[in-house]
Structure 1
């Protein structure tokens, strides 16, 4: 049995173990006590709203994916009327559809457990204290983590085992990415529509608490946490994990064919050990004596990192893998942790940037915005430098494997991306913990479970916000390395289609490359603007609806007994608006990519991808960190700093947070998915761009 066959089997077994562990975690969370009828009632509203949105969104996306599948069958990897193999085109179509199905499954699982875990977390805060409440939220998030990474590893393994075709792997990855792009965009528009509307009318205009049941948008806000931060982020990280493995395998196959070495086995070995490490890390997650949830989440991440480093070093020694490739993987993992720490510095309310923005808020909202934007831009440098250094070191480490072939160095970068995403199971667990804790806090307030339970869930929610900023920085950085490696996959696909080496790199002095780079650099900005304008239009409609209800429903503003707002109206506005706005931005990115390819050919696409990567990473990091900073500055003031709730500083900070919301939860995290999608479109259409172009 070859090493590749062995690790294909091991990958399937580890994926099965992850699913079994997820099932155990689900049963554990479900077994936690919950008996409060009011909390159960509100929780059912949230569950129903989230499931309704997801069903409608998936119906819309099914139509898009069906149309895309037909076009893929006709054109990719070569037009069927030009002698293309019908069987190969059909294989890519099936792989594409499987990618969309696996991604949708991950989001569905996340919604199911998150809308149950929020109730258990709220009830545990009242009856058991902070430790069982923390475990309910974290283990609920871990179900999502195990399901997402188990699905991605299993999907890539099955495609590889059945087809042994690198293009089919890219098709599977494109399916995951295209669904993730629209799921993240749609979920982000929904959640920020409700969040901004609830904050502006509730906190700023009326001065009522964040989760006051009188606010008609409050249920939509909680639904949004699930469809945006659970289903959307799960699809996003599913896409990143699949894309990193697919790009690494494309180059592993190309390099292995030249060197006579099976490098694919290393990719599956390290990916399987990463998931196994995440299982151990989730099992070990506990709160220490200080009852600090942030420390518990961070320590479990560091433990997972250490376990992965040891396991992969041992496997490299036992199976006599190349230590240079292990070094590239370790560099990616290390830089991922460093970028996470950087994001923590700029978004944690214990650090100077957040407190300085809170202080600036005393002087008015203009200073909140100016200071937040400034720190957001400052936060970009360490992460961009970190991504650049990891790419440079990993490239040079592996370039010596085959000095005359640039694919060897690019394979090193792809393995750094695999390393950075190796602990993605733990990262998703931490990320999904955040919206569960946030929902639990709302349920405690709306269910009137007491001040002690509110204090506990406030602490859990604050930790979720801090860790969420770290995980977003981590996800964006990992996507950055993945996308750089996809540039290598594009070169590999072009050279394979040409039957010779026609691309060794891209010279920016070449006018075609420069043209592509200018267009590519503009796309993330336009894409972000389209998403945020969607939030803006939708939020204005919802604010008008909230005003109408407070004006027309007698006794609602005063909170008279038996007077209940029309929550469904706000949920419908958020749902319909998100579904209307989610297609144009993603479709625009794909159409422009195809247009640049047919205008300038493969050289223009190379420049286009390079410009898209650099501009996209900068904007994504800036928006994620500045948004997280504004959010935690608001929460720091609400906890009593700089005048506390109801002060002028608080009102300024709420305005800053409403600007930051679409930054960090709509546009920012969607950009990395957009870059991945256009990179995969370029790789899949490489032979077409090589054969047909205007210049």
Structure 2
């Protein structure tokens, strides 16, 4: 995207207003909306199937109820906090430039709808997960029958437990695709040709809430997990989910608010933002056809997701649970490709000349068939999802060489475990980035000499990837449900022997599925962000013509050789590092508070170890809740305000470079963090299965350290980069007209631009400063008279008030 405004931004072959919603298209969109509603009905059927399963013993029910109570309480408090933020953004969006009041109001209204749908996806996913985990544990318990009962087929028991866990994920998958498609189709039906601009608000609402839920849930879950592991496993030598550990309930709560609620909202916003990009570029590249075809593709994905979810039925011949999951995924992908081919060749015209509003120059330069163009672009996205699924599985599965290498490195201590895991994560990031890059470039080549068509091809590749999202979300939720089931089983002591091994195996598969979904989620972020560059170009071009700016103005050029643009590129890369550091540091601080609280309880209540006293689980839940909500502000402000600071201070050219730097760095960083963390986790599982000395050995202690390092990598910082990229892209898209408008028109406009830039920078600096001032106390409450316990307000007491958080 080099050059000056004239060659870059003047290519504007089709105005967004050129597309109209014809009667035929309106009928198609109505059918799409009906399919979206059908997905919600399928979700309801799956809910009934899951809840019909047995809940197990009274002890298991009691533990599950405590987890449910903690998860519901945390999410309710988080959503109240985010509700205030959403209302503020709603009014700010009304101030941004738009073609008319109706478009402004629609953009703000559907911002709230996107935020509500994103929150609902996470909430309903979490609500079912905390009810199904005990049912998975109860199903596994059947592997160890009571005295006098006949022996049961171990394979059949494992398959039953896995089916319950995956059907739970299927509910979340159906909610994700159903609500995402329903929201987009409603916007198109109501606003017709103005839908792409209104959808910017819908996508921003989904992305913002997802980012906050991902960061907040990630901080909660990993603070509890790290604290529980360090004190329980390393210091006290007790199992991971031993009921004597005060952090175990918080750990299980965290799995749900982080992995279930957070990741469901994350993948929902990926779905929404990719549709936004596809519809914006579709109307510009394909005219009327571009308003409907980007909805047809994910609608096909809804149908194939239903097939894929029900196809995950384990067989006796399967090597592991991943075999059944892979089978469902690939069945879904293949059927999607076939149905998209049918849709493309049925709906789209055979020549570019038949597309509405396409210029004569484009028709001459594209003598091919737009149906083939669309099919190949979608196929690139489907194939990309399949390749990333296999590549991530290779680096994170327990039976593959990378994880086994980490397990071997545990024989020489925790340092080599950390080094080997980081090396594997760095290497895997390169291969994943190459795959994503090849996918983007392959789609780009389909556009030939037209940048608009090339970008639309990238967006269609994103919708192709969306056809697998229903199964992908099911895979992701499967992970925390299996993890929680193992925790409930261990805490209750009612699942032993073969049943416990069934849950251990499911948990290992769940670690792999979570890593896979993170890889695919970042791929959707890159495809959506690359496609949004097209709408960003379009927004700049329109704003430039409105203010009459001259071609080649320094602030408008996208030439990367310009110093201001190069600075923007560096700043984009830097934001990813700062954001990741803040998230990991937040986990470290909160985990420190958990460690001190759990130590205090063991020290002050020695009866905990011999089961004569019960730990105070609620205190740890309270610490994690308050810390997570307190730490939300800084990463959120960073995501929203850095594009504003760069755009208003350096211009829209530097802002485009800023986005490019963030996308490139964010892709590598997110995959590195997710894969290294997943590999460390499964290396721990490998040792716990009896390799290299098994539980209680030095190798086991080393892998526990590796796992605690990887926890905030894979479940907090890594996944949060995905919504970060899309929030920044959407904010840039929304403010681009205002940046151009205030860049020209005299000293008054220049003054407004300077004030906005200074205020944004001041808020960012202040938020980071406040975050850095928080610290973990240095007293463990042993010698010196301090009680070392959590204060109940998310901090930890210290004898010196000056060092208290």
Q: TM-score, normalised by structure 1?
A: 0.96
Gaps of 5+ in 2: 1-21, 144-156, 350-370, 744-749, 754-805
Per the alignment, residue 81 of structure 1 pairs with none
In structure 1, the residue corresponding to 2:573 is in which secondary structure?
helix
In structure 1, the residue matched to 2:706 is 656
Correspondent of 2:442 among 379, 393, 396: 393
Specify the alignment match of 1:328 in structure 2. 377
Summarize the alignment of residues 46-195 of structure 1 with structure 2, pairs less than 5 Å apart.
46-73=67-94, 75-78=95-98, 85-127=100-142, 129-164=157-192, 165=194, 166-195=196-225
CA distance in 2, matches of 1:294, 1:559: 38
Are 1:531 and 1:582, in contact at CA under 8 Å, matched by a contact in 2? no
Cα pair 2:565 2:653 within 8 Å, conserved: yes
SS at match of 1:350: coil
How far does residue 35 in structure 1 lie from its aligned partner after superposition?
A: 4.2
Is the CA contact 1:336–1:478 (under 8 Å) kept in the aligned structure 2?
A: no
**Partners in 2 of 1:428 and 1:3 — Cα distance?**
32
Q: For each residue in 1:52-86, what CA deviation from the matched residue of structure 2 results, as whole angstroms up to 9, or x when unmatched?
A: 0000000110111111111111x2235xxxxx733
Q: Verify the 8 A CA contact 1:329 1:419 in the aligned structure 2.
A: yes
2: CA distance between counterparts of 1:603 and 1:506? 5
Quote the offset at 1:243 in angstroms: 0.5
Residues 440 and 458 in structure 2, CA contact (< 8 A), matched pair in contact too: yes
Q: Distance in 1 between matches of 2:655 and 2:541?
A: 14
Given that residues 56 and 137 in structure 2 are in contact (C-alpha distance below 8 angstroms), is that contact kept between their aligned partners in structure 1?
no
Instruction: Name the residue aligned to 1:493.
Output: 539
TM-superposed deviation, 1:181: 0.7
Once the two structures are superposed, the pairs formed by residues 474-489 of structure 1 within 5 Å of their partners are: 474-489=520-535
2:514 to 468, 481, 488: 468
Matches within 5 A, 1:199-210: 199-210=229-240
Match of 1:312 among 336, 340, 344: 340
Correspondence for 2:406:
357
Q: Map Cα deviations across residues 522-552 of structure 1 (whole Å, 9 max, x no partner).
A: 0010001111111011010111000111111
Moved more, 490-499 or 55-64: 490-499
Confirm or deny that 1:265 pairs with 2:280: no
Are 2:482 and 1:415 aligned? no
Match of 2:630 among 580, 605, 621: 580
**Aligned pair 1:514/2:563, yes or no?**
no
Look up the match of 2:491: 446
Aligned-residue Cα RMSD (Å) equals 1.6
Question: Equivalent residue for 2:38?
Answer: 17
Larger radius of gyration, structure 1 or 2? Answer: 2
Cα 1:87–1:265, aligned 2, differ >3 Å: closer, same or farther? closer
What is aligned with 2:760? none
Distance 1:3 1:116 in 2: 44
Measure, in 2, the Cα distance between the counterparts of 1:646 and 1:150.
46
Asked if 2 retains the 8 angstrom alpha-carbon contact of 1:251 and 1:492, the reply is: no
Contact 2:344 2:374 in 1 (8 A): no
Return the match for 1:623 from 661, 673, 680: 673
The 8 Å contact of residues 108 and 231 in structure 1, kept in 2 or not, is answered as: yes
- Partner of 2:313, secondary structure, is coil
Are the counterparts in 2 of residues 50 and 226 from structure 1 also a CA contact under 8 Å? yes
What CA distance in whole angstroms lies between the structure 1 residues aligned with 2:63 and 2:163?
22
Contact 2:206–2:265 (Cα < 8 Å) also in 1: yes
- Within the candidate set 480, 486, 496, 1:435 is matched to 480
Structure 1 residue 246: deviation in Å? 0.3
SS, match of residue 385 in structure 1: helix
Q: How does 1:565-644 map to 2 (within 5 A)?
A: 565-644=615-694
Structure 2 vs 1, CA of residues 3 and 633 (structure 1 numbering), >3 Å: closer, same or farther? farther
Aligned partner of 1:348 in structure 2 is 397
Query: Could you tell me how far apart the structure 2 residues matched to 1:187 and 1:385 are?
Result: 30
3-state DSSP of counterpart to 2:614: coil
| Contact 1:601 1:692 survives alignment (8 Å) | no
CA contact (8 A) 2:478 2:513 kept: no
Please point out which of 239, 244, 249 is paired with 1:219: 249
Matched-pair contact (CA < 8 Å) for 1:174–1:680 = yes
Q: Counterpart in 1 of 2:330?
A: 302
**Between Structure 1 and Structure 2, which shows a larger proportion of helix residues?**
1
Deviation (angstroms), 1:290: 3.2
Could you tell me whether the CA contact under 8 Å between 1:479 and 1:676 is conserved in 2?
yes
Q: Residue in 1 aligned with 2:14?
A: none
TM-score (norm 2): 0.83
Given that 2:396 and 2:515 are in contact with CA atoms closer than 8 Å, whether structure 1 keeps it comes out as yes
Match of residue 282 from structure 1: 309
Offset from partner CA, 1:420-457 (integer Å, 9 cap, x none): 12210000001001100111111111122222221111
Alpha-carbon distance in 2 for matches of 1:624, 1:389: 21
What displacement does 1:496 show? 2.8
Give the conservation status (yes or no) of the 8 Å contact 2:687–2:695.
yes
**Alpha carbons 2:397, 2:509 under 8 Å: kept:** no
Q: Does structure 1 conserve the Cα–Cα contact (< 8 Å) formed by 2:181 and 2:298? A: yes
Q: CA deviation at 1:499?
A: 3.7
Give 3-state SS (helix, strand or coil) of 1:214's partner: coil
Indicate if the aligned counterparts of 1:149 and 1:241 stay in contact, CA closer than 8 A.
Answer: yes
